[in-house]
Structure 1
């Protein structure tokens, strides 16, 4: 394959092939040479855009986070509900059930103990997703379905706990221990006046984490 004259198209091809290889073979077992062979590009064409396999994964991760953020915005726009709290519950459940938003989970979970990856996840949750959730919490405050004086802070603490603290791989927890923490999160958010962690959401999270842990232990 000759170098494409459109840099963005070339980058997209590199990311697309790398995603597939990372999913099929695993990140650690995929080499730059594997990516080069699959693309039929020269090594120089790859290194012109990415200096390492880790840099490719970083770009894929940011792309995935961007998709999730855009999906969240669309759900906010089109989700119908009786009030802000109900709307947020539906959105969280829909987000967890969206396969495209989670199709890289098994690849990314291998990076969960990488400090840079964890920091990126924290910053994305706080700076990207939390402000969006805060807007819906504010809707709930206005219609009386949510009772808090701290919509921004509640959104941020929720994102921190659900993305980082709840993660069973990061803290080497089993499903029972994860369930206990999800129940605590459910109770905590309720006491904060933002009752948005439904039993269905807990079941969805546990199911997804079970799949990830099975793949990790193979």
Structure 2
């Protein structure tokens, strides 16, 4: 493959091929040389954009987070429901069902043991996703479908627990232990006045972790 004369296209090719290799071979077993060979580019073309494999992973992660954010915004605008609670439930289920949003979950499930990744995930959840979810909760306060008095705090706690605490890889949990914690989160959110975790969503989250090999 000849080197693309357009830098933005070259960058996209690097990220696309790298993501595919990270998923198929694992991040640890993929070398820079593997990426170079798969691209058919010169080593200089890769190092023009990235200094290391770690930088490539960070860029791939950023791309994944950006897509997820765009998808969430799209769903908020286009999801119709009788009330805000049902709208939020539909959004959460659609996010989980979108395969493109979870392309790298198998890769990231192993990287979650990396402290920097955990911190990045926590910050993204609290600073970017939680305010969006809180906005829908406020709409729920207005239509009576959500009764929490602390929509922002409730949304932040939900994102921290669902993204980090629930993850079985980080805490070396089996399926039963993960289901127990999901059930606790479901009841906790209900008691806080934000009954947004349905049994169907609980089951889908459980199956998703199984599909990426998250259970110990």
What is the aligned partner in structure 2 of residue 37 from structure 1?
37
Note the C-alpha offset of 1:6.
2.0
Residue in structure 2 matched with residue 94 of structure 1 by the alignment: 94
Equivalent residue, structure 2, for 1:174? 174
Q: What residue is the counterpart of 1:160 in the other structure?
A: 160
Alignment of 1:31-180 (within 5 A): 31-180=31-180
- Counterpart-to-counterpart distance in 2, 1:24 and 1:41: 20
RMSD in angstroms over aligned alpha carbons?
A: 1.3
Counterparts of 2:126 and 2:6, CA distance in 1: 34
* Matching residue of 1:23: 23
Task: Give the superposition deviation at 1:2.
Answer: 4.3
**Structure 2, unaligned runs of 5 or more:** none
Listed as ranges, the gaps of 5+ residues in structure 1 are: none
TM-score norm. by structure 1 comes to 0.96
Q: CA deviation at 1:202?
A: 0.2
**Aligned-residue offset at 1:10:** 1.0
2:196 counterpart of 1:196: yes
Instruction: Name segments (4+ residues, structure 1) moved above 6 Å.
Output: none
- Describe the SS at the equivalent of 1:207: helix
Number of equivalent positions: 216
User: Any idea what the Cα deviations from partners look like across 1:106-141, whole Å, max 9, x if unmatched?
Assistant: 111120100011111111111111111011101100
TM-score by length of 2: 0.96
CA distance in 1, matches of 2:39, 2:207: 35
Aligned counterparts of 1:96 and 1:164: Cα–Cα separation in 2: 15
